[in-house]
Amino acid sequence: MLKTLIFGFLLGLVGTVAAAYYAPVVDQYRESSVIAVAPNGGNTESFRINIPTDRIMIGAPGQAEPLPPGLQWPTDEKFDGVRVELFKLRNSRDTVIGVASRMVADSDQIEDSVEWVLHIPARGTFYAAMPAQSADGVSRIGKLRAGTQEFRPMQGEISERWVPKADDADPDAPDGHIELVTSFVGTFSDSVTESALTEGAL
Amino acid sequence: MIKYAAGLLLGIVLGVVAAAALLYFNPLAAKNPLSPLSVTNNNIISLGYSGVPTDSIVFTNNGESRVQPHPEKVRELWEAPIRLTEVLVTVLADSRNNPTGIGIKYSSDSEDTRLINGEALVNSAWHIHLVERGSLFVEQTENYWNFLRKIVLPAYWSSSNHWKGVWNGNMTVGPGALGTAAVTGGTGEFAGLESEAVEAVHASAYSVTQGPVAMERRLTIDVTGNVELTASDVADR
């Protein structure tokens, strides 16, 4: 009887420790990436934001109908030149895969700019800044400034353009969508990761 | 036969309880070390904000957490790929508590979380705009293990479902080798900045039903070599 109790105790102890070590506590849901290889190297990926359905927040002064309802934007005059928007982010298959923010600063002190941060939980986050003026009257093009996780070794460009809805007859269709297209290429590194060594990459 | 089965079951239960106690009191688990930026002579800027979601401009999550989205009618992040993500939009204040910018913080539970190592990790990123100064991007890994142990679990154990006290801790544990966050400047005076940051928490009340009730957070950013300090930045030093 005592031996059974001790066996059970050890089983419970070891089992719990093993579960805590091996069982994933967090398992982020993943959608397959929709990436195309660019002709000049690297890869391109298209993201979209349906307007108005994917818009979570518009942070700007003096809104008659704030989004979300009840939003209290700071009343201090110094924030008058800052506009912040928060969106759900979709891949080119129109599936929500992340969240994104767009920040526009209109200031006498610093150059006007449009900035994006795209946060895709299972893949990472990246930050891009682009000039306030569009290059061709249609789209803005900016540079990738920083990335995390799978975007960390990347460099490249991102473009932003507004695409109005194609079918005016469909009353349920969104007004249009913001299209973001990335063109990233990985940078080479001399360092070899531990996981690459254990997987026999060399 | 039933006697042996009961003994085995009792043993397993005791073993699970012992293992849980080992995890909770694990002496090898992450401590709360001094931030390298707290002893630096470098130029720093310090940005404070309330850790209470109802003090924010917008806070949203999957809507099923005990911390409810704010404002009430904000869209929730219920889709599967973003269910483990929270987004906070808040006013950032300088060390004199003057509003100085807007920050958006994305936080997603990290798949690197290992409770046996004392790691309850969250990958977070800040998109910050400081008015008339410029923009920054901050990438960090935060460890909430000590926060859970010292605040959240005691709140659950309390008969009033509430924790009150004083707890100070650094949340940032990476990706920098010294447990610091990575900062990238975007525009204005921060353009070209590559630096480090640390985020700290000062908590004094937590409720099981509402989440943080009284909590201040502070982001300290090293801006050496890039930025002309303002009067309040100098006060931070």
Q: Which residues in chain B touch residue A11, judged by CB atoms under 8 angstroms apart?
A: 8, 11-12, 15
- Kindly list the residues from chain A whose CB atom is less than 8 angstroms away from the CB atom of residue B20: 16
d(CA A179, CA A111): 24
Q: What six digits make up the tokens of B110?
A: 């990290």
How distant is the Cα of A120 from the closest Cα of chain B, in angstroms? 8
Residues of chain B scoring pLDDT < 50? none
Contacts of A81 (CB under 8 A, 6+ apart): A105, A106, A107, B131
Among A154, A143, A82, A83, smallest CA distance to A120 is for A154
The amino acid at B37: L
pLDDT for A114 equals 93
> What percentage of chain A carries pLDDT values higher than 90?
46
Cα-to-chain-centroid distance, residue B14: 34
Nearest to B200 by CA among B118, B129, B125, B143: B143
Tens-digit pLDDT profile for residues B205-236: 999 998 999 999 999 999 876 566 666 665 65
Nearest residue to B40 (alpha-carbon basis) of B181, B170, B224:
B224
CB contact under 8 A, B188 and A110: yes
Q: What gap in Å lies between CA A119 and CA B172, rounded to an integer? A: 19
Considering only the beta carbons, identify the residue of B8, B80, B125 that sits closest to A29.
B80
Interface with chain A: mutation pick from B105, B129, B136, highest number of A CBs within 10 Å? B129
Pairing state between β A55-59 and A82-91: antiparallel
Best mutation target, B91, B108, B122, to test chain A (most A CBs within 10 A): B108
Predicted ipTM? 0.89
Binary contact (B10, A125; C-beta < 8 A): no
* Closest in A31, A69, A82 to B102, CB measured: A82
H or E element, residue B134: strand B134-143
Q: Which of B7, B19, B104 sits opposite A8 (nearest CB)?
A: B7
Residues B214, B40: contact at Cβ < 8 Å?
Answer: no
DSSP codes joined into one string, B40-84: --S-EEEEEEE-SGGGSSEEE--S-SSS--BSTTSPP--SGGGTT
Helices (H), A78-159: none
Read off the pLDDT of residues A12-53 as tens digits, 9 standing for 90 and up: 889 988 888 888 888 899 888 888 888 877 889 999 999 999
The pTM assigned to this predicted structure is 0.89
B-chain residues near A73 (CB < 8 A):
57
Determine whether the interchain pair B186/A148 forms a contact, defined as Cβ–Cβ distance below 8 Å. Answer: no
Within 13 A of B62's CA, how many CA atoms are on the CB side? Answer: 14
Which one is predicted more confidently, A200 or B183?
A: B183
Give the closest-approach CA distance of B147 to chain A in angstroms: 17
Side chain identity at A83, as an amino acid letter?
R
Average pLDDT of chain A? 86
Q: What one-letter code names the amino acid at A13?
A: L
Q: What is the pLDDT of residue B103?
A: 96
Asked if B14 and A12 come within 8 Å (Cβ–Cβ), the reply is yes
User: Could you tell me if A177 and A51 are in contact, meaning their C-beta atoms sit under 8 angstroms apart?
Assistant: yes
Chosen for mutation from B12, B142, B189, B226 (greatest number of chain A CBs closer than 10 Å) is B12
Does the pLDDT of residue A188 top 70, yes or no?
no
Q: Tell me the Ramachandran region of residue A103: left when phi exceeds 0, alpha when psi lies from -120 to 50, beta otherwise.
A: beta
Residue A202 has pLDDT above 50, yes or no: no
pLDDT at A190 over 80: no
> What pLDDT does A193 receive?
56
**How close, in Å, is residue A97 to chain B by CA atoms?**
5
Residue A45, amino acid: E
Average pLDDT over residues A63-71: 89
- For testing contact with chain B, the best of A6, A9, A94, A102 (most B CBs within 10 A): A9
Which of A1, A21, A24 is facing B111, going by the closest CB pair? A24
Q: Span A84-100, mean pLDDT?
A: 95
Give the distance from residue B220's alpha carbon to the nearest chain A alpha carbon, in angstroms: 19
Long-range contacts of A159-167 (CB under 8 A, 24+ apart): A159/A183, A160/A114, A160/A116, A160/A130
Task: Provide the shortest C-alpha distance from residue A79 to chain B (in Å).
Answer: 7
Tell me the per-residue pLDDT of A150-184, one tens digit each, with 9 for 90 and over: 999 899 999 999 998 877 767 777 789 999 999 99
Provide the number of CB pairs (under 8 Å) joining chain A to chain B: 236
Q: Do B116 and A20 touch (CB under 8 A)?
A: yes
Alpha helix ranges (H) inside chain A: 2-22, 194-198
If one counts every other C-beta atom within 10 angstroms of the C-beta of residue B231, the result is: 9
For residues A137-160, average pLDDT: 91
Contacts of A26 in chain B (CB under 8 A): 84, 109-111, 113
> What distance in Å separates the CA atoms of residue A164 and residue B45, rounded to the nearest whole number?
42
CB contact (8 A) between residue A59 and residue B102: yes
A74-108 per-residue burial string, b: 16 or more CB within 10 A, e: under 16: beeeebebbbbbbbbbbbeeeebbbbbbbbbbebe
B126, HSE (Cβ side, Cα atoms, 13 Å): 32
Q: Are B142 and B172 in contact (CB under 8 A)?
A: yes
